[in-house]
Amino acid sequence: MSALEIQNVNWQMSVNRRAHHTDKFSSQDFIVRRGYPWEMVLVCNRRLESGEDLNFIASTGPQPSESARTKAVFSVSERSTSGWSAALKANNDNSLVIALASPANAPIGWYTLNLELSSRGRVASLRLGTFVLLFNPWLEADDVFMSNHAERQEYVEEDSGIIYVGSTNRIGMVGWNFGQYEEDILSISLSILDRSLNFRRDPVTDVARRNDPKYVGRVLSAMINGNDDNGVISGNWSGNYSGGVDPRTWNGSVEILKQWKKSGFRPVQFGQCWVFAGTLNTVLRCLGVPSRVITNFNSAHDTDRNLSVDVYYDAMGNPLEKGSDSVWNFHVWNEGWFVRPDLGPSYNGWQVLDATPQERSQGVFQCGPASVNGIREGDVDRNFDMVFIFAEVNADRITWIYNTRNGNKKQNSLDTHSIGKYISTKAVGSNSRLDVTDKYKHPEGSREEREVHQKALSKLKPNATFDPTSARDLAGEEGEPSISGRFKVTGVLAVGKEVSMALILKNLTGDRKTVSVNMTAWTIVYNGTLVHEVWKDSATISLDPEEERQQPVKIAYSQYDRYLKADNMIRVTAICKVADEAEVVVERDVILDNPTLTLEVLDRARVQKPVNVQMLFSNPLDEPVRDCVLMVEGSGLLRGNLKIDVPALRPKEKSRIRFEIRPTRSGTKQLVADFSCNKFPAIKAMLTIDVVE
Q: Is the confidence at residue 469, as pLDDT, over 80?
A: no
353 near 334, Cβ under 8 Å?
yes
Q: How confident is the model at residue 478 (pLDDT cuts 50, 70, 90)?
A: low
Q: Of 142, 206, 273, 302, which is the active-site residue?
A: 273
Determine the Cα–Cα distance for residues 238 and 674; give it in Å rounded to an integer. Answer: 21
Torsion 62-222-134-136 (CA) sign: positive
Determine the Cα–Cα distance for residues 270 and 242; give it in Å rounded to an integer. Answer: 9
161 near 153, Cβ under 8 Å?
no
284 near 369, Cβ under 8 Å?
no
Torsion 560-561-563-568 (CA) sign: positive
Active site residue 331: yes
Section 246-254 average pLDDT: 98
pLDDT, tens digit, 9 for 90 and up, residues 606-639 = 999 999 999 999 999 999 999 999 999 999 999 9
314 near 404, Cβ under 8 Å?
yes
Give CA separation, 82 vs 73, 78, 129, 350, 595, in Å.
7, 12, 20, 30, 61
pLDDT, tens digit, 9 for 90 and up, residues 305-323 = 889 999 999 999 899 988 8
Q: 164 or 92: which carries more pLDDT confidence?
A: 164
Q: Of 302, 354, 379, 589, which is the active-site residue?
A: 354
Active site residue 576: no
Predicted confidence at residue 118, as pLDDT, reads 87
Active site residue 354: yes
Determine the Cα–Cα distance for residues 244 and 503; give it in Å rounded to an integer. Answer: 39
Section 113-136 average pLDDT: 93
Task: Annotate 58-74 with DSSP letters as a single string.
Answer: EE-SSS--TTTTSEEEE
Residue 390: CB atoms within 10 A of its CB come to: 30
Residue 149: CB atoms within 10 A of its CB come to: 9
Coil, strand or helix: which one is 286?
helix
Q: 118 or 256: which carries more pLDDT confidence?
A: 256
519 near 553, Cβ under 8 Å?
yes
384: cis peptide before it, omega within 30°? yes
In terms of DSSP bridges, do strands 38-44 and 95-101 run parallel, antiparallel, or are they unpaired? antiparallel
483-489, strands of its sheet edge to edge: 483-489, 499-507, 548-555
Predicted confidence at residue 96, as pLDDT, reads 94
Section 447-474 average pLDDT: 74
Where helices occur in 328-462 by DSSP H, the ranges are 372-376, 386-394, 437-440, 447-460
Q: How confident is the model at residue 119 (pLDDT cuts 50, 70, 90)?
A: confident
Q: Is the confidence at residue 473, as pLDDT, over 70?
A: no
Q: 303 or 210: which carries more pLDDT confidence?
A: 210
| Residues, the chain | 693
pTM: 0.96
What is the chain's Cα-based Rg?
29
Determine the Cα–Cα distance for residues 80 and 72; give it in Å rounded to an integer. Answer: 8
Section 263-268 average pLDDT: 97
Predicted confidence at residue 465, as pLDDT, reads 58
Q: Of 331, 379, 453, 567, which is the active-site residue?
A: 331
pLDDT, tens digit, 9 for 90 and up, residues 4-53 = 889 999 999 999 999 999 999 999 999 999 999 999 999 999 988 888 88
pLDDT, tens digit, 9 for 90 and up, residues 549-560 = 999 999 999 999
Predicted confidence at residue 410, as pLDDT, reads 92
Determine the Cα–Cα distance for residues 333 and 234; give it in Å rounded to an integer. Answer: 16
Determine the Cα–Cα distance for residues 130 and 30; give it in Å rounded to an integer. Answer: 7
20 near 133, Cβ under 8 Å?
no
Predicted confidence at residue 466, as pLDDT, reads 53
pLDDT, tens digit, 9 for 90 and up, residues 154-164 = 999 999 999 99
pLDDT, tens digit, 9 for 90 and up, residues 355-381 = 999 999 999 999 999 999 999 999 999
362: left (phi over 0), alpha (psi -120 to 50) or beta: left
- Interior angle at CA 512, CA 507 and CA 515, nearest 5: 65
Section 640-656 average pLDDT: 96
Q: How confident is the model at residue 86 (pLDDT cuts 50, 70, 90)?
A: very high
Share of the chain above pLDDT 90, in %: 88
Predicted confidence at residue 78, as pLDDT, reads 80
Q: How confident is the model at residue 471 (pLDDT cuts 50, 70, 90)?
A: very low
Coil, strand or helix: which one is 303?
coil
Predicted confidence at residue 418, as pLDDT, reads 93
**HSE value, Cβ hemisphere, 13 Å, CA-based, for 504:** 10
